[in-house]
Amino acid sequence: MDDHKGSPELFMFLASTVHDMKNSISVLGGTLENLLDHGKGPEQGDPAYPQMAHMLYQTRRLSDNLMQLLALYKEVGKPTYPFEPNTVPVRELVQQVAGQARVLLESKQIALELEFPADLLWTFDEDLVIGVLAHAVNNAVRYTRDRIRLTIVERDGLLELAVADNGMGFPPSMLEAGALVGQGVNFLTNSSGLGLFFASEVARMHKRRQVAGAIRLENGGPLGGGRFVLTLP
């Protein structure tokens, strides 16, 4: 049980290749952000602008997928993965998620609405939760018309973090996938499966007094579209 499946050489090779790819994607995404941020803005009518915005969206997807693949390969949720819960002000969590999404949302003229308790502190693995929320926001960009809302509330001793949009809602196949993942089935059959699976593993790692975190997908949220919910004990 101590050994990695497959040869260690192959694992080392894959890991270093992924490092390399992540560096390249970081540079791609960062450069696109700078261009979009310092560029003329969508209202100037430059035809390249929406295309660049879409490139940024795709870059984010790639980057998220790589991060999640690597984390899952390292068995997130298993004892070999470094899980580090810390006390984090919810305000700072929101700052970081919104900061990551800012340029992409601006370039696509999507408003991000934020609702959170100003002075609440919570204990969780900050990098993992930021990863899950940023991915949920990025996913909502695909479904929304022009609004995304990140709502964080404390309810019955749980922290509930929800990303909602005003699009058409999730297709039935995804709602089903979300429910299956929620039951703990190892589900990885369509393109959205990886993100959901990662999110559910992250949720499950968070435990407090025998209560574990969870995720769920809903339709008809506050903006009438889809809603991704992560609860943390």
Measured distance between the N- and C-terminal CA atoms of the chain, rounded to whole angstroms: 30
Torsion angle in degrees (nearest 10) through CA of 193, 198, 202, 203: 0
Task: For other proteins, give the closer residue by CB, 123 or 219.
Answer: 123
How many residues bind other proteins, per CB under 8 A?
62
CB of residue 23 to other proteins, shortest distance in Å? 5
Selected range binding other proteins among 47-55, 122-130, 155-163, 216-224, rule: CB under 8 A: 122-130
CA–CA gap between residue 218 and residue 175 (Å, rounded): 7
| The binder of other proteins chosen from 44, 84, 155, 157 (CB under 8 A) | 84
Using rule CB under 8 A, residue 142 touches other proteins: no
Concatenated DSSP letters for 188-204?
--STTHHHHHHHHHHHH
| Position 80 contacts other proteins (CB under 8 A) | yes
Positive or negative, the CA dihedral 117, 76, 200, 156 is negative
Shortest distance, CB of residue 225 to other proteins, whole angstroms? 16
Residue nearer to other proteins on the CB measure, 51 or 80: 80
CA dist., res. 70 & res. 58, Å (int): 18
Looking at residue 41, its amino acid is G
Structure tokens at 194: 């990886």
Query: 23 vs 173, which CB is nearer to other proteins?
Result: 23
30 in contact with other proteins (CB under 8 A): yes
d(Cα 151, Cα 231) in Å, to the nearest integer?
A: 12
What is the pattern of x (binds other proteins, CB under 8 A) and - over residues 2-21?
Answer: x------------x--xx--
| CB of 99 or CB of 184, closer to other proteins | 99
User: Which of 39, 116, 175, 224 is in the footprint of other proteins by CB under 8 A?
Assistant: 116
Is 82 near other proteins (CB under 8 A)? yes
Residue 128 CB, nearest approach to other proteins (Å)? 8
d(CA 142, CA 127): 23
- 228 by DSSP, 3-state: which? strand
Among 78, 65, 63, which Cα is nearest to 4's?
Answer: 78
* Residue 31 makes contact with other proteins by CB under 8 A: yes
Paired tokens of 93: 């969590």
Instruction: Note the residues at the interface with other proteins (CB under 8 A).
Output: 2, 15, 18-19, 22-27, 29-31, 34, 63, 67, 70-71, 74, 78-89, 91-92, 94-96, 98-102, 105-106, 109, 111-119, 121, 123, 127-128, 130-131, 153, 207-208
